[in-house]
Amino acid sequence: MNRDTKNNYSVFDTHCDTLCCVRDDGKSLNENDCHVDLKRMSEYKSYTQVFACFIDPIYKTCGAERTMNLTDTFHTHTQNLPQNVKAVLSIEGGEGIYSLSALRNYHRLGVKIAALTWNYSNHIASGALESDENRGLTDFGKTVVAEMNKIGMLIDVSHLNRKSFYDIAKVTKMPIVATHSCSDFICPHKRNLTDEQFKIIKNSGGCVG
């Protein structure tokens, strides 16, 4: 697709891991070999990118510090965006959400979307690779969902196991989003969504990326 063709299209991409590359590998957000950069994004009519603060489970004991570092990286590198580019901040993995006050502070720093875990289980919810199918949203996780509803932070159900998904669907009062999930019908996998899950997301007013 050439530049002239791109100028006819608007893009809203709900997930990328570029922040980690910028933070850990010293990449530039202006131009890089990662998922996205400002140079490529600016070639479109408009481009909105959701940048994820991916909290790998290896940061279990320092999740808050990792979340803050990536949040800082986001704000440092998105101060002077091209006019047609917008940036949204999300969290992927709730290891840094150790209290409701921490959650509220992330929201004050601009976090609009949060995935409660990544593939594995933590103190909030259970991931897609959790072996115990009966393990879902924890008691603390239910308070996190309620607080996210209160402050207007969207819940991202990508990477959750089915039990956590349905637990959230029962208690949330806001639309549900899956920022990067595929269809289990097309490709059977624990990470993917069933047709029933797609319908629940749709009926909530949410969307799948």
Q: Which residue matches tokens 């115990």?
A: 132
> If you write DSSP's letter for every residue of 27-63 in order, what string do you get?
--SSS-SSS--HHHHTTSSEEEEEEEEE--GGGGGGH
Residue 5: predicted pLDDT: 75
pLDDT, one tens digit per residue, over 54-97 is 999 999 999 999 999 999 999 999 999 999 999 999 999 999 99
Distance CA 55, CA 117 (A): 9
Which residue(s) pair with 87 in the sheet?
49
Which residue(s) pair with 49 in the sheet?
13, 87
Distance CA 193, CA 183 (A): 5
Tokens of 73: 């990286």
| Average per-residue pLDDT for the chain | 96
Helix (H) or strand (E) holding 75: helix 63-77
Domains, the chain, with CATH or none: 3-208 (3.20.20.140)
Mean pLDDT value of segment 174-182: 97
Q: For 147, left (φ over 0), alpha (ψ -120 to 50), or beta?
A: alpha
Name the DSSP letter for residue 62. Answer: G
pLDDT, one tens digit per residue, over 3-37 is 677 889 999 999 999 999 999 999 999 999 999 99
CB neighbourhood size of 209 (10 A): 14
pLDDT, one tens digit per residue, over 92-108 is 999 999 999 999 999 99
Distance CA 197, CA 10 (A): 27
